[in-house]
Amino acid sequence: MSEQNNKRWFSLNLGKAKKQEFYSCSCGKTAGSCGSHEEAKDGFDQVFDVKMNRRTAFKQLTASLMIGAGAVSTSCSMIAGNDRKEKAQIDWEEQFKGNYKLMTVEEKKATVDRLVRSYQLRKGKTISMSSKDAEEGVLFGYAFNISKCQGYMDCVNACVEENNQDRNSQMQYIRIHEMKDGKGFNFNEADDNYYHEVPAEGHFYMGTQCFHCDNPPCVEVCPVQATWREEDGLVVVDYDWCVGCRYCMAACPYDGRRFNWSTPEVPEEEVNKDQHYLGNRMRKKGVMEKCTFCVQRSRAGKNPACVDACPTGARIFGNLLDPNSTIRWVLENKKVFRLKEDLGTEPKFWYFMD
Amino acid sequence: MRRLKVFTSLIKDSLDSTTQGSKKYHIWMAFLTFIMLVGMYCYSIQLEYGLSVTGMTDRVSWGLYISNFTFLVGVAAAAVMLVMPTYVLKDIDFKQAVLIGEGLAVAALIMCLAFVVADMGGPSVLWHMIPGIGVFNFPNSMLTWDVIVLNGYLFLNISIPFYILFRRYQGKTPNPKIYVPGAILSVFWAVAIHLVTAFLYQGLQARPFWNNALLGPRFLASAFAAGPALIILVLAVIRTFTSFSIEDKTIKKIGMIVTVAAQINLIMLVSELFKEFYAPTHHSESAYYLFFGLHGKTALLPWIWTAIPLNVLATVILTFGKLRNNFKVLYVACFILFVAIWIEKGFGLIVPGFIPGPYGKIAEYTPTGIEIGVTLGIWALGAFIFTILAKTAIKIETGKLQFKKK
């Protein structure tokens, strides 16, 4: 509960204090002590809680499950090449792996290795994929300077390229709302899909994306815990565990989530090969995705792509628990506010003006 | 061992009875099969290209599938309206109708599950939702509650009629001590399935149109109007085409249930409209969109302005005893009430929840042909299942189908 004690920003306390306990431990257990992290087991081990290794468990499953029969026949085929066999083996293990949130460090590493190898087999290129966990004493926060933003949308472009978003449907995590001067923050009359020269006369700009709420409604509603809040405050999705029911999308008050309505396509030469399991690795059709504050960058000590791309310096990112960080300076010295605070979602995304 | 023998004989006999019938019956079944095949073809396209073949987008992320799911949960819940008086209050009038009602519930539940699966982005990883093998986010996610109550209700509605029919099949009388507790449980369970489904929407602070304390009770009222209305229509068909005798008294009593539920539903509708339009706030925009359109976007207007007059008309007709007791009028009233509630509880509830979006964006939704094809296919599946169940049940009930009576 260290983050609770160190919390220095305004909180709307809607009696959610009790719920915070759920988030105090990333092992996903709502009961029991955190000392039992090693015992956290994924779906398979929970069922086959016997002394057998993963491979044997999968063999058992093979016998009992009719689904995936095609994969079995491929992997058993005598004429299939070694590569094909390996690919089938990987696909099989990927299909029946557990929830990333509940995986042990070794299991996380194993699935990352499989995904890297699978990409190598399919495309002949090597990607680097991280499974770096949250660091202690880090809680990410974001601030947006409304006075500075001119609506150039460089952040949007950088985000799309960094995070390997589907180019076909032009998926964008960030929306820049063009608002009329003198109307206040009137989202109803704002335009989030403009195609003209900016800054437009008599307008100001405001960006929205996933706010990485401290009390995220999307996490509560997910029927399979495919989305959760990490220890450093990032709300992430396990793309392989998501069943695509889109309940989280209905639950998000900030339009922060995106769905892959068809197979996402990124031209091979544009693929960002510096990836994180929870971040910009390639997605498949029928799963949710969202802004992760560029987990592959932020956990490596860098700023998210949108922050670095912004030509006006309107975007500020940093560790809320570090008293010397810029974000803390902004929160302490500027008149900050957040959107829809009355909903009790506690976003970690503040707006301010010069 | 004997039971197993009876069971295999029952399966064989029911297979015989469902594959034989009049010409009309065969045409009906062939028609349903054709629609189902079309639906499966449409679904195969959806599987290949993803949900992008539907009209849904990031702005309106639930559409026709979830609308039908919501409505059908109500139809399934309505079986209880017949179960309660028959088994618990020992009202003999309903006994004929109750097996039909439960059969309808089974068909509706299977359709519900089919609609949910059709709406999933990843049907191949649905096992993630199975408790034990997957990770079940219980009790936090209302969707997990819904999975439990729907499947539990399906089990109850299969097991109770099965027990009764299994006994009848052997020429024995069912033991009330065994099925009455189950029936009482299913009474509470039926309320639970619809309330939990309402909570699925009601619990979202992001969507003010749903985040409304009246949503749950209104779900119940509309369900107990639309469900029994459908049962009346089905009983009318069964009376015409089979030798299964259903007394006028039974239909009149169900008509009474429909009437009261429709009246309560209308009162709640007035209350909702008053709240939205007397002192409209920012949160009334979805209702404005639904009833009057926003900024020239009016896709739902024809739907809701069909539903509301039909709803009022049906309720008024049903309210007058003279009209209600005239069966021809009753059937018409039930039909238009069913259609009105299907629109209101489906399209009229789900789609406006997303419009305007979280930041006021108005993006409209129109289902595509593929979506409609899958939807029709699932409805045909429901009708198919119900026909099979009803045909077997009626044969056993009328004593035509009995163990070793060949």
The 3-class secondary structure across A21-72, one letter per residue, is HHHCCCCCCCCCCHHHHHHCCCHHHHHCCCCCCHHHHHHHHHHHCCCCHHHH
Q: Tell me if chain B has a CB within 8 Å of the CB of A27.
A: no
Size of interface A-B (CB pairs under 8 A): 151
Q: What is the rounded CA–CA span in Å between residue B268 and residue B270?
A: 5
pLDDT of residue A181: 93
Residue in chain B closest to A253 (alpha carbons) equals: B206
Q: What is the rounded CA–CA span in Å between residue A241 and residue A228?
A: 12
Are the Cβ atoms of B137 and A255 closer than 8 angstroms?
no
Q: Is the dihedral of CA B381, B385, B391, B397 positive or negative?
A: negative
Chain A positions touching B215 (Cβ under 8 A) are: none
* Ordered alpha helix ranges (H), chain A: 2-6, 20-23, 43-47, 54-64, 69-76, 82-95, 105-123, 154-162, 217-221, 247-251, 295-298, 305-309, 326-333
Residue in chain B closest to A172 (alpha carbons) equals: B58
Query: How deeply is B399 buried, as exposed, middle or buried, from its count of CB atoms within 10 A (0-12, 13-18, 19+)?
Result: exposed
Tell me the whole-structure pTM to 2 decimals. 0.87
Are the Cβ atoms of B51 and A241 closer than 8 angstroms?
no
Could you tell me the pLDDT band of residue B244, with boundaries at 50, 70 and 90? Answer: confident
Judge contact between B182 and B156, C-beta under 8 A: yes
The residue with greater pLDDT, B219 or B180, is B219
Q: What is the largest CA-CA distance in chain B?
A: 70
Residue A217: is its pLDDT beyond 80?
A: yes
Could you tell me the pLDDT band of residue B406, with boundaries at 50, 70 and 90? Answer: very low
Could you tell me the pLDDT band of residue A62, with boundaries at 50, 70 and 90? Answer: low
Q: What element of type H or E holds B352?
A: helix B347-353
What percentage of residues in chain B have a pLDDT greater than 70? 99
- Residue found by looking up tokens 């099925």 in the block: B179
Residue B289: is its pLDDT beyond 90?
A: yes
Q: What is the dihedral of CA B33, B35, B37, B43, to 10 degrees?
A: -140
Could you tell me the pLDDT band of residue A71, with boundaries at 50, 70 and 90? Answer: low
Q: Tell me if chain B has a CB within 8 Å of the CB of A112.
A: no
Closest CA to B267 of B332, B209, B312, B211: B312
pLDDT tens digits, A302-353: 999 999 999 999 999 999 999 999 999 999 999 999 999 999 999 999 999 9
Residue A80: is its pLDDT beyond 70?
A: no
Tell me which amino acid residue A139 is.
Answer: L
Q: Which of A270-274, B97-101, B187-191, B329-333 is least confident? A: B97-101
pLDDT of residue A308: 96
Name the DSSP letter for residue B73. Answer: H
Indicate the average pLDDT of chain B.
91
What are the residues facing A351 on neighbouring strands? A144, A337
CB atoms < 10 A from the CB of A146, how many? 17
Residue B331: is its pLDDT beyond 60?
A: yes
Nearest CB neighbour to A251, from listed B124, B204, B357 = B204
Å between B145 CA and nearest CA of chain A: 9
Q: What element of type H or E holds A15?
A: none
Compute the average pLDDT of residues A226-232: 96
Å between B399 CA and nearest CA of chain A: 40
Q: Give how far Cα B401 sits from Cα of B44, B170, B174, B395, Å.
A: 39, 9, 16, 5
pLDDT of residue B123: 92
Judge contact between B397 and B99, C-beta under 8 A: yes
Nearest CB neighbour to A262, from listed B50, B125, B204 = B50
Please confirm whether the linkage preceding A199 is cis (ω < 30° from 0).
yes
- Residue found by looking up tokens 């094809």 in the block: B373
CB atoms < 10 A from the CB of B377, how many? 23
pLDDT of residue A15: 43
Q: Tell me if chain B has a CB within 8 Å of the CB of A21.
A: no
Give every CB contact of residue A166 below 8 A, 6+ residues apart in sequence: A260, A262, A264, A265, A266, A283
Instruction: List, as ranges, residues 71-110 from A with C-beta within 8 Å of B.
Output: 95, 98-99, 102
Q: What is the rounded CA–CA span in Å between residue B345 and residue B110?
A: 19
The number of residues making up chain A comes to 354
Give every CB contact of residue A262 below 8 A, 6+ residues apart in sequence: A166, A168, A169, A285, B49, B50, B51, B52
Residue A29: is its pLDDT beyond 50?
A: no
Could you tell me the pLDDT band of residue A43, with boundaries at 50, 70 and 90? Answer: low
Q: Give how far Cα B214 sits from Cα of B110, B218, B269, Å.
A: 27, 6, 9
pLDDT of residue A250: 95
pLDDT of residue A3: 41
Could you tell me the pLDDT band of residue B378, with boundaries at 50, 70 and 90? Answer: very high
Compute the average pLDDT of residues B352-360: 93
Nearest CB neighbour to B135, from listed A224, A261, A285 = A224
Indicate the average pLDDT of chain A.
84
- Residue found by looking up tokens 């919501």 in the block: B70
* Ordered alpha helix ranges (H), A129-221: 154-162, 217-221
Compute the average pLDDT of residues A20-37: 43
What percentage of residues in chain A have a pLDDT greater than 90? 72
Could you tell me the pLDDT band of residue B119, with boundaries at 50, 70 and 90? Answer: very high
pLDDT of residue A33: 45
Å between B361 CA and nearest CA of chain A: 7
Q: What is the dihedral of CA B132, A111, A21, A140, to 10 degrees?
A: -150
The residue with greater pLDDT, A77 or B90, is B90
- Residue found by looking up tokens 């195609």 in the block: A195
Could you tell me the pLDDT band of residue A28, with boundaries at 50, 70 and 90? Answer: very low
CB atoms < 10 A from the CB of A343, how many? 18
Q: Is the dihedral of CA A88, A92, A97, A100 positive or negative?
A: positive
Q: What is the rounded CA–CA span in Å between residue A228 and residue A30?
A: 13
Q: Give how far Cα A274 sits from Cα of A116, A282, A297, B377, Å.
A: 11, 11, 9, 45
pLDDT of residue B340: 96
Query: How deeply is A154 buried, as exposed, middle or buried, from its count of CB atoms within 10 A (0-12, 13-18, 19+)?
Result: middle
Chain A positions touching B126 (Cβ under 8 A) are: 243
The residue with greater pLDDT, A6 or A213, is A213
Nearest CB neighbour to A224, from listed B54, B137, B361 = B137
Compute the average pLDDT of residues A30-57: 49
pLDDT tens digits, A82-115: 888 899 999 999 999 999 999 999 999 999 999 9
Chain A positions touching B58 (Cβ under 8 A) are: 171, 249, 257-259, 261
Name the DSSP letter for residue A290. Answer: E
User: Residue A177 — φ and ψ, nearest 5°?
Assistant: -100, 125
Q: What is the rounded CA–CA span in Å between residue B204 and residue A345?
A: 12
